[in-house]
Amino acid sequence: MWYLVGPLGALSLLGVVAGVAAIRSSWLPSWMGKRTFRPRLWGYAEVLFSANLAVQLVGWAILSPRPRGLAYAVGFVLLMVALGLLRASQRPERTG
């Protein structure tokens, strides 16, 4: 179980760095450039998604069973808000 804490924590930190870079300078990873209409909004979503990962990781690895449910609920709310922001940051699909 503990062998996952380091890699998942590093992944969460990497997501925060990418999100802050998108918020501050509108930088996006190269594979996201064509699909993302608003890079700053994508950055906020990435920061929230990384916070979700960190909260879920703390709830899973550190907390006892009682507060673990609260950590999972907070993580779920962060995930849903992040997914909504990710969807809003992408260009609408063309119809017709």
Q: What is the pLDDT of residue 48?
A: 97
Q: Which two tokens stand for residue 25?
A: 């300078």
Q: How confident is the model at residue 23 (pLDDT cuts 50, 70, 90)?
A: very high
Domain holding 76, by residue range, is 2-89
Number of domains in the chain: 1
* Within-domain flag for 55: yes
* Within-domain flag for 96: no
* Within-domain flag for 95: no
Q: How many CB atoms lie within 10 A of CB 83?
A: 14
* Within-domain flag for 34: yes
Q: How many CB atoms lie within 10 A of CB 19?
A: 22
* Within-domain flag for 94: no
Mean model confidence pLDDT for the chain? 88
* Within-domain flag for 85: yes
Q: How confident is the model at residue 95 (pLDDT cuts 50, 70, 90)?
A: low
pLDDT at 96 over 90: no
Whole-prediction pTM: 0.85
Q: List, for residues 41-75, the tens digit of each pLDDT value.
A: 999 999 999 999 999 888 888 877 778 888 889 99
